[in-house]
Chains A and B, each alone.
Chain A
Amino acid sequence: MNLKDLLSPFYVWQRAFEKPYTSIRPIQERPGAAAYRGFHINISEECIGCGTCHKICQNDAIDMVRVETYEGRSGDSGLRPRFDYGRCCWCALCVDMCPAGSLRMSNEYTWITSDPTEFHFTAGVEHTTWQDNPLGYHRAEGYHLYPPKRIEMEMLPPEVSVQSFDEVVAGYSEPQALLEADRCIECGICVATCPAHMDVPDYIRSIRDRDYEKGLQLMYRTNPFPATCGRICTRRCESVCPVGIQGEAIAIRWLKRFIVDQIQPQDYARILADQTGNSGHRVAIIGAGPGGLSAAYYLRKQGHAVTVFEAQASAGGMLRYGVPSYRLPDADLDKDINYIVSLGVDIRYNTRIGKDIRFEQLLQDFDALFLSTGLSVPSSMRIHGEEHPRVLSGLQVLADVASGRDPGVGQKVAVIGGGNVAMDAARVSRRLGAEVTILYRRRIADMPADTEEIHESQEEGCHIVTQAIPVEIIAASSPQQVSIKWGEAEMVQDPKGGRPRPVLQEDRMHVETYDCIISAIGQGSDLEFLSKEIQDQLAIEWGKFAPGEYQHTSLQKVFVGGDVANRTADAISAIEDGHHAARGIDRFLNPDARTHTDQEVN
């Protein structure tokens, strides 16, 4: 070994005192370009946790995690996106797809830490330095990965629709339905909001797959009235559809209708292949409306014998006697009802409990009872002169028309109220040739009627007078006419909050004369069929039953549901009540069964 070899390791040390060629980190960080795709920003208040970003991410870089602050909000899953920057490739598909428009990207791109687990974060929830950064990638105004507008539904023009009771809505053709189904982003927010929790994304997918039989099977898992709900559902699902935030919600109701319209009634038994055994138990149902018949359908599938007691001559309840055929043709309602009946449901028509059969007798003869008697008593205005014979009830007018009777509304009609019954009574009167004025005590925005119904009634020529409070009914000079005195109202903010309240302005009164006045201000329950002793044993609040778990009451055998037991009073809620009660009744009748899963009773 020579001397050079011996000293060479020490020569390296001289480098230690030279200027380094590399630096620990840039002293001057270079900012990203103004539209750079950097770390994510999510406006959590605008995000609804639909998970579309999670689904579209090609790198599985986004997880949806539970965030307590947002749990329990209507139309919000309570989840928020959590990003993994070990996986993200910064493609911004998540931003382009976000239906709420809450997600974008900042132009920041450096994040230095010695802890590799820190590169996960929940945007908009965990604190970051870039959350308020206005720069970065934003989806361009008006740019959408899916068409924001729904496929328009063909309808009878109003000047034609008022000439008959023919159905107003034409329904989608197959090409239209396919295009509309393509807009669905399958987030499933609608499933949680639908009272019956229908599997909306999957039955919409069945349209894309053109497998309508599969669609029908999916719908019947939670709703045996798809033909009906495909026409008149209150469609809360659409009110929370994320696509509706920056565009128009998916036409879920019309897509449901499309599926049902593709299938003939004679094919239902083959497609649904429902099995009905014999459990040896007998269940009585009072009321053949959507709640009662929904319960009947699921109870038959559980093998229980079902007898339905119906006071009217036909089944359907308010769907038949309260919804006019231009919205729900009898043939479509019968499509739903006939299939339920075909499973062996025995309906005793024209049988009123409390009059033809005592309730106590049913308690004695059956193993369980389901009460779904609806709201059949029209509310009274309680103003002077209301007993005048030319003051008609909205419910009676609709029932007369449904039964083929002429309600005799005359040529000039005033309708009092702002709910669906009021709108239907008005539109029915238009079809009977009357000139119609609707008097409503609040604003159009406060009307409980479906916005489509309000719009269509106006298009058909019904004149809506808002902030009009009826104060007196007065006899007119002709017994065939009646006058109404009404006053204008000012909307005043309630000091305790809530919606503004109408306050009558006594110096602005009007008197008008009509051929009839149709009162449609709401309806209540008729519980007279129950004795006082029975009523005392049931929890009843504000004229409605207040059931416990599985719609069970404090009376051992008795379950309740539908409008007479819920606050929403719509068909889809009644259908869910019936399904829920069927589960409860099955548990009650078979307490020793190993499990009672939803699948068993579906």
Chain B
Amino acid sequence: MNSVDEILDYAIDQEQQAADFYADLAGRAEKAGMKEILLDFAAEEQSHKQRLLAVKAGDHKLTPEQQVLDLKISDYLVEVGASANISYQDALIVAMKRERAAFQLYSDMAAKVPEGHLKEVLQGLAKEEAKHKLFFESEYDDRVLRDN
């Protein structure tokens, strides 16, 4: 992946894969109420994909300079499996971990390319993933850690 378009295509594909992942999990979900929640997650990923498609079309700009709050919640949580019996807490952990991995991937790639447009796009994508991670971490903080 050397061009901006290739990077964006990869990112768009990743968002689609994430949406498919949650939609598939929703189809298998056994716990009450989890199907709707996982479908919400899938819709969230679809909205990320739409945003990136808009970036590729030139209708929207990534903002690499924007600072995103890092709550560091997912950094110290254990890995959990995405089983059909997944709970809401675990579904959020899966989502947070996925966003964190994507953030790290784009951050690492940005660190390896020279200054220029490509670097800016990678940094912008990293910031996007950081925002997604913050979204799920805030949800975890509000709902799972509500009494804590």
Contact = CB atoms under 8 A, between A and B. Distances in A.
Interface of A: 379-380, 382-384, 386, 416-419, 440-441, 448, 469, 471-472, 492, 494-496, 498, 501-504, 506, 521-522, 524, 527, 530, 532, 535-536, 538, 540-543
B72 A418 contact: no
Interface stretch (B15-23, B48-56, B109-117, B138-146): B138-146
B66 to A, nearest CB: 10
A110 to B, nearest CB: 56
Interface string B53-93: 00000000000000001111001111010000001111001
Given A416-B148, A542-B88, A532 B30 contact: yes
A592 to B, nearest CB: 34
A297 B76 CA distance: 48
B6 interface: no
B148 A535 contact: no
Contacts of A417: 147-148
A540 B32 contact: yes
A382 B69 contact: no
Contacts, number: 81
A503 B146 contact: no
Interface residues of B, number: 29
A441 B32 contact: no
Contacts of B138: 494, 496, 501
Contacts of B77: 382-383
A498 B138 CA distance: 11
Nearest to B35: A536
B58 to A, nearest CB: 27
B147 A383 contact: no
A382 B33 contact: no
A591 B141 CA distance: 45
B146 A538 contact: no
Nearest to A527: B32
Contacts of B143: 542
* Best-surrounded residue of B30, B93, B142, B145 (most CB of chain A within 10 A): B145
- Kindly list the 8 A-B residue pairs having the minimum CB-CB distance in the complex, ordered from nearest: A540-B33, A540-B32, A535-B32, A521-B148, A522-B147, A471-B76, A419-B147, A504-B72
Contacts of B70: 503
A532 B29 CA distance: 10
B33 A418 contact: no
Contact of B147 (A521, A527, A532, A535): A521
A530 B68 CA distance: 42
Contact of B33 (A492, A504, A543): A543
A384 B78 contact: yes
29 contacts: A379-B147, A380-B89, A382-B77, A382-B89, A383-B77, A383-B78, A384-B78, A418-B148, A419-B148, A440-B148, A448-B147, A492-B69, A494-B138, A498-B142, A501-B138, A502-B71, A503-B69, A504-B71, A506-B72, A521-B145, A522-B144, A522-B146, A527-B31, A527-B32, A532-B30, A536-B32, A540-B32, A543-B31, A543-B33
B106 to A, nearest CB: 21
Contacts of B80: 382
A503 B142 CA distance: 14
B147 A530 contact: no
Contacts of B32: 527, 530, 535-536, 538, 540, 543
A498 B31 CA distance: 30
A523 to B, nearest CB: 8
A500 B10 CA distance: 35
Contact of B76 (A383, A495, A536): A383
A374 to B, nearest CB: 15
A522 B87 CA distance: 15
Nearest to A448: B147
A89 to B, nearest CB: 53
Contacts of A541: 33, 36
Nearest to A536: B32
B40 to A, nearest CB: 11
A541 B147 CA distance: 18
Contacts of B37: 542
Contacts of A521: 145, 147-148
Given A538-B32, A543-B33, A495 B148 contact: no
A501 B141 contact: yes
Given A380-B89, A522-B148, 17 more contacts: A379-B89, A382-B93, A383-B77, A386-B78, A441-B148, A494-B69, A501-B71, A503-B72, A504-B75, A521-B145, A522-B145, A522-B146, A527-B31, A532-B30, A535-B31, A540-B33, A542-B143
Interface in B104-148: 138, 141-148
* Best-surrounded residue of B30, B37, B148 (most CB of chain A within 10 A): B148
A298 B5 CA distance: 68
Nearest to A546: B33
B101 to A, nearest CB: 17
A480 B109 CA distance: 47
A408 B90 CA distance: 30
A382 B78 contact: yes
Contacts of A386: 78
B38 to A, nearest CB: 13
Contacts of A502: 71
B147 A418 contact: yes
Contacts of A536: 32
Nearest to A469: B76
Nearest to B67: A495
A163 to B, nearest CB: 29
B88 A543 contact: yes
Nearest to A385: B78
Nearest to A539: B33
Contacts of A471: 76
B147 to A, nearest CB: 4
B143 to A, nearest CB: 6
Nearest to B70: A503
B148 A472 contact: no
A472 B89 contact: no
A532 B93 CA distance: 24
A232 B33 CA distance: 32
* Best-surrounded residue of A383, A492, A502 (most CB of chain B within 10 A): A502
Nearest to A382: B77
Nearest to A503: B71
B136 to A, nearest CB: 13
Nearest to A421: B147
Contacts of A448: 146-147
A441 B31 CA distance: 29
A427 to B, nearest CB: 17
A6 B107 CA distance: 116
Contacts of A492: 69
A498 B71 CA distance: 15
